[in-house]
């Protein structure tokens, strides 16, 4: 955190000065470790064993078992008491697999690139339900067009055992699942000494409860694994057990890596989502019509029962007046995905010649995962547009890449037509970024960009204007949707505008939403959305950021007064509804009183929910309101159900749906590992994604040619592939050269000296870097054998003030089955002097 988010670490240091304890669990001793009270060195990729060990430790702790805070939170705010299908079998029962594992047979022949090697049939992971479904409500069920559809999704109530004693209840399943994750096992898998692990466990426990909370912060060190989402889920499970979710100072905090990566997930330039976390319509699901889509994706209870309103309003943002109830609001024009079109399979597709054109804006795949393979893909393109601030490696892969420089490929043999459009920088444009806390902040324009430099908006808008013109006369059915797509973001006052630049406020208005009949009447809250076409709103979660033409709340710059407890609600705007802590109903007890004065955040004041933050709960729903099984939406949930986005209103220890690789986190080895899995016969996740090609081979477990664990990361002084920072002489001088960090033990074994050259190899590639020999790295003892680990920052490439080899030439296209994230944090390599 100190390394890659130093200013966020400001608050950790402030807490430390007030007595907070900092624990750092990491393969390397970093600048964060330097400030930590407890350091837990772990082998890269072994975090689920570590977290699982903490879960087991908590479940066996006497204070945890007897403290009414933990037990009240557990029984009422989580699914601990819910009974799971009798057919469910755990990884403890099946030695590393869950019930339902089978060969992968899915997918469409038109898109055979999903990368699955196995899949689960997941019916047995569901809840047990009572025999009968609730009847239809007696009256008042036709308020909206899709109301009956949502009510028709109702399921019978889940079965529960509030005593938590039923062997099929979630609590007992979780307990059995982690029973072998003992401190000794943790040490054997992770390399972290037993006494250090116990110290971590005790520190976390003693800093959790009614009066104290523990926060966990993570970055891509947890996500870039073939089980990345499970790693995060494992931490969430622990935090739910400790009552650390929905409370101030708690949470599982994602330290995301890019300025608006949260925004680009909310407003997804991602293949599998459309706005506001609705899944993209797919050929692989029952999504033929709008009603089919809603039947498959909406929930009868909880906030997702409003999905018809979100979806119809989104379709109105696409097709405007052409989207009507009569034509399913244009749903038929919307494209459907064919499977996995994420980064990894798209570059496989490109290398196979399936992709002809690419538009790359502010990203640098030429130095990304298995970079040699990605460059093979780029060479197969017919055309490529790069829009960036500086000439990136992706812009010059055809004349300056290593394979061109060493003569193995000639530019003449690359048939790609390449365009480079220079970008305006941040202070030369205006718009909003969403930070890692879901906070939107507007940046204003201070200066004109030089020469041909233009905003990214300009490029996309002008491309759209031209394509609109080219398709204007088409009579093809398949072009109808694009002809109907609304595309007018010209500034109202052209005199004040730079030629061709759209008005970013008009885009924010479309994101925020407005009354379809009068666009200057902006929507003020998502509760105003309708499913009849009368509201137009791209993003239901951003609804409210721009409630009136003269009120852009992202641009607010008023912090709270010093010394006043608050959430700085007038600095920017956080989605949803300007709420800063999600699920904050959990900061109060069952009666709606704060769990403790010290941890006051949101409370029931007798007539409504109030607090320092915007309460995340129906404003006037009393804490003692009972659940109404006959109702839909949040009305179906009780007054003590804080997790309103979940259909059952509680936090999930056991995940009955939504994950494809298991309802509970389980320790697997990374796709490449020097050791056998000490916990299960299953070495790796049985459903990980792997794209097998000659240029994407994996080392077998324990392959003696690649004996060392390698992890990759960022440094404070640089940014991702270096496309911004390596052009700055100031930053370049701070970290001028690519290096590999290794222990003196490993260096000595290979005759490597500090600042001497090292050759690093994996089955995918081989690069050179200078050695940084340091005791901040250490050998681990794993499963009875000594395992060395090395680390490399991946900021270098062949462009910029300072240059160096591409570390991603070493990594593999192997990924997690839920989100297809790659595994760059733990793989294997060899090192040699040279």
Residue 610 DSSP label = E
Give the nearer residue to another protein in terms of CB position, either 31 or 129.
Answer: 31
Stretch that binds another protein, among 97-105, 178-186, 552-560, 640-648 (CB under 8 A): 552-560
Site string for another protein, 556-585 (x = CB under 8 A): -x-xx-------x--x--------------
Task: Find the binder of another protein among 337, 610, 631, 783 (CB under 8 A).
Answer: 337
Q: In the complex, what is the shortest distance from the CB of residue 571 to another protein, in angstroms, rounded to a whole number?
A: 5
User: Residues 169 to 208: which contact another protein by CB under 8 A?
Assistant: none
CB count in 10 Å sphere of residue 732: 20
CB count in 10 Å sphere of residue 499: 7
Task: Find the binder of another protein among 719, 794, 796, 827 (CB under 8 A).
Answer: 719
Give the nearer residue to another protein in terms of CB position, either 679 or 758.
Answer: 758
Distance from CA of residue 133 to its chain's centroid? 35
Instruction: Compute and round to an integer the Cα radius of gyration of the chain.
Output: 27
Beta bridge partners of residue 257, listed in sequence order? none
Total binding residues toward another protein, as defined by CB under 8 A: 191
100 binds another protein (CB under 8 A): no
Which helix (H) or strand (E) is 158 found in, with range? none
d(CA 779, CA 785): 10
752 binds another protein (CB under 8 A): no
Provide the token pair at 598. Answer: 């010290």
Give the nearer residue to another protein in terms of CB position, either 395 or 586.
Answer: 395
Provide the token pair at 410. Answer: 């000639």
Residues 6+ apart with CB under 8 A from 455: 423, 424, 428, 429, 449, 501
d(CA 225, CA 217): 17
Give the nearer residue to another protein in terms of CB position, either 79 or 423.
Answer: 423
Give the nearer residue to another protein in terms of CB position, either 204 or 371.
Answer: 371
Task: Find the binder of another protein among 112, 167, 411, 751 (CB under 8 A).
Answer: 411
Q: In the complex, what is the shortest distance from the CB of residue 722 to another protein, in angstroms, rounded to a whole number?
A: 11
Residue 335, Ramachandran bin (φ over 0: left; ψ between -120 and 50: alpha; else beta): beta
618 binds another protein (CB under 8 A): no
Residue 658, Ramachandran bin (φ over 0: left; ψ between -120 and 50: alpha; else beta): left
45 and 84 in contact (C-beta within 8 Å)?
no
Give the nearer residue to another protein in terms of CB position, either 513 or 649.
Answer: 513
User: Residues 696 to 715: which contact another protein by CB under 8 A?
Assistant: 715
User: Residues 445 to 484: which contact another protein by CB under 8 A?
Assistant: 445-448, 450-457, 459-464, 466-467, 470-471, 477-478, 481-482
Give the nearer residue to another protein in terms of CB position, either 171 or 780.
Answer: 780
Task: Find the binder of another protein among 65, 356, 551, 768 (CB under 8 A).
Answer: 356
Task: Find the binder of another protein among 301, 370, 432, 516 (CB under 8 A).
Answer: 432
Q: In the complex, what is the shortest distance from the CB of residue 630 to another protein, in angstroms, rounded to a whole number?
A: 36
Residue 178 DSSP label = T
757 binds another protein (CB under 8 A): no
Q: What is the greatest pairwise CA distance in the chain?
A: 82
Task: Find the binder of another protein among 122, 160, 299, 343 (CB under 8 A).
Answer: 343
Nearest CA among 795, 741, 737 for reference residue 771 = 741
Task: Find the binder of another protein among 133, 427, 497, 517 (CB under 8 A).
Answer: 427
Is the backbone peptide bond immediately before 576 cis, with ω within 30 degrees of 0?
yes
Give the nearer residue to another protein in terms of CB position, either 445 or 759.
Answer: 445
534 binds another protein (CB under 8 A): no
Residues 6+ apart with CB under 8 A from 5: 219, 255
d(CA 518, CA 523): 11
d(CA 360, CA 354): 17
Give the nearer residue to another protein in terms of CB position, either 181 or 796.
Answer: 796
Q: In the complex, what is the shortest distance from the CB of residue 416 to another protein, in angstroms, rounded to a whole number?
A: 6
94 binds another protein (CB under 8 A): no
Provide the token pair at 395. Answer: 């812009």
Provide the token pair at 109. Answer: 């022949």
Q: To 5 degrees, how large is the angle CA 659–CA 285–CA 817? A: 30
Site string for another protein, 291-320 (x = CB under 8 A): --------------------------xx--
336 binds another protein (CB under 8 A): yes
């Amino acid at each position: 955190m100190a390394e890659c988010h130093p200013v966020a670490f400001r608050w950790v240091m402030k807490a430390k000065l007030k007595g907070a304890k900092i624990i750092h669990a990491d393969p390397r001793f970093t600048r964060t470790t330097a400030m930590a009270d407890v350091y837990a060195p772990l082998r890269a990729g072994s975090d689920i064993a570590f977290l699982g060990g903490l879960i087991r430790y908590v479940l066996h702790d006497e204070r945890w078992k007897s403290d009414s805070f933990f037990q009240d939170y557990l029984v009422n705010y989580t699914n601990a008491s819910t009974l799971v299908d009798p057919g469910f079998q755990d990884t403890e029962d099946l030695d590393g697999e869950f019930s339902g594992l089978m060969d992968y047979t899915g997918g469409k022949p038109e898109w055979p690139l999903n990368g699955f090697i196995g899949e689960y049939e997941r019916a047995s992971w569901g809840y047990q339900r009572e025999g009968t479904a609730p009847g239809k409500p007696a009256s008042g069920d036709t308020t909206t067009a899709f109301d009956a559809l949502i009510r028709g999704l109702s399921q019978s109530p889940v079965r529960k055992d509030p005593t938590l004693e039923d062997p099929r209840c979630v609590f007992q399943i979780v307990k059995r699942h982690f029973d072998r994750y003992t401190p000794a096992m943790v040490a054997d898998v992770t390399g972290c000494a037993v006494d250090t692990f116990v110290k971590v466990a005790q520190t976390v426990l003693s800093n959790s409860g009614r009066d104290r909370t523990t926060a966990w912060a993570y970055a891509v060190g947890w996500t870039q694994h073939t089980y990345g989402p499970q790693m995060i889920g494992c931490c969430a499970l622990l935090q739910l057990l400790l009552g650390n979710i929905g409370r101030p100072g708690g949470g599982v905090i994602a330290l995301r890596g890019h300025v608006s990566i949260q925004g680009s997930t909310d407003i997804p330039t991602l293949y599998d989502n459309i706005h506001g976390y609705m899944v993209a319509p797919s050929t692989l699901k029952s999504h033929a019509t709008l009603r089919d889509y809603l039947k498959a994706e909406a929930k009868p209870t909880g906030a997702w029962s409003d999905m018809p309103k979100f979806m119809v309003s989104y379709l109105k943002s696409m097709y405007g007046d052409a989207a009507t109830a009569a034509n399913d609001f244009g749903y038929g024009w919307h494209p459907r995905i064919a499977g996995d079109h994420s980064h990894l399979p798209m570059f496989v597709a490109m290398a196979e010649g399936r992709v002809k054109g690419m538009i790359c804006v502010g990203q640098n795949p030429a130095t990304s995962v298995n970079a040699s393979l990605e460059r093979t893909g780029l060479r197969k393109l017919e055309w490529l547009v790069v829009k960036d601030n500086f000439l990136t490696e992706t812009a010059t892969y055809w004349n300056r890449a290593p394979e061109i420089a060493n003569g193995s490929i000639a530019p003449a043999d690359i048939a790609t037509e390449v365009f480079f459009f220079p970008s305006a920088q941040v202070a030369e444009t205006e718009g909003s970024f969403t930070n890692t806390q879901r906070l939107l902040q507007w940046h204003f324009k201070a200066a004109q960009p030089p020469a041909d430099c233009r905003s990214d908006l300009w490029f996309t808008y002008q491309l759209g204007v031209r394509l609109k013109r080219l398709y204007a006369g088409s009579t093809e059915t398949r072009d109808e949707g694009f002809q109907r797509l609304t595309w007018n973001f010209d500034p109202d006052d052209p005199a004040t505008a730079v030629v061709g630049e759209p008005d970013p406020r008009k885009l924010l208005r479309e994101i925020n939403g407005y009354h379809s009949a009068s666009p200057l009447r902006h929507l003020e809250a998502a509760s105003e959305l309708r499913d009849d076409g009368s509201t137009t709103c791209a993003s239901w979660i951003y609804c409210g950021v721009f409630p009136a033409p003269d009120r852009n709340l992202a641009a607010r710059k008023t912090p709270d007064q010093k010394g006043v407890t608050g959430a700085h609600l007038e600095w920017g705007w956080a989605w949803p509804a300007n709420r800063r802590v999600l699920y904050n109903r959990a900061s109060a007890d069952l009666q709606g009183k704060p769990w403790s004065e010290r941890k006051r955040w949101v409370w029931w004041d007798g007539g409504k929910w109030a607090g320092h933050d915007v309460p995340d709960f129906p404003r006037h729903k009393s804490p003692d309101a009972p659940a109404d099984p006959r109702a839909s939406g949040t009305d179906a949930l009780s007054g003590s159900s804080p997790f309103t986005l979940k259909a059952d209103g509680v936090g999930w220890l056991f995940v009955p749906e939504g994950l494809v690789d298991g309802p509970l986190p389980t320790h697997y080895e990374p796709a490449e590992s020097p050791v056998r899995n000490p916990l299960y016969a299953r070495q790796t996740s049985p459903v990980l994604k792997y794209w097998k090609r000659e240029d994407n081979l994996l080392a077998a477990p324990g392959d003696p040619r690649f004996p060392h664990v390698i992890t990759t990361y960022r440094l404070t002084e640089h940014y991702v592939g270096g496309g911004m920072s390596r052009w700055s002489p100031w930053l370049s001088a701070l970290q001028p050269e690519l290096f590999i960090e290794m222990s003196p033990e490993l260096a000595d074994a290979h005759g490597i000296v500090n600042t001497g050259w090292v050759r690093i190899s994996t089955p995918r590639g081989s690069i050179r870097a200078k050695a940084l020999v340091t005791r901040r790295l250490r050998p681990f003892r794993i499963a009875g054998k000594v395992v060395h680990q090395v680390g490399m920052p991946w900021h270098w490439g062949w462009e910029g003030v300072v240059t160096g080899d591409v570390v991603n030439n070493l990594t593999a296209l192997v990924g997690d089955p839920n989100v297809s994230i790659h595994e760059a944090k733990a793989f294997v390599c060899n090192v040699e002097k040279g």
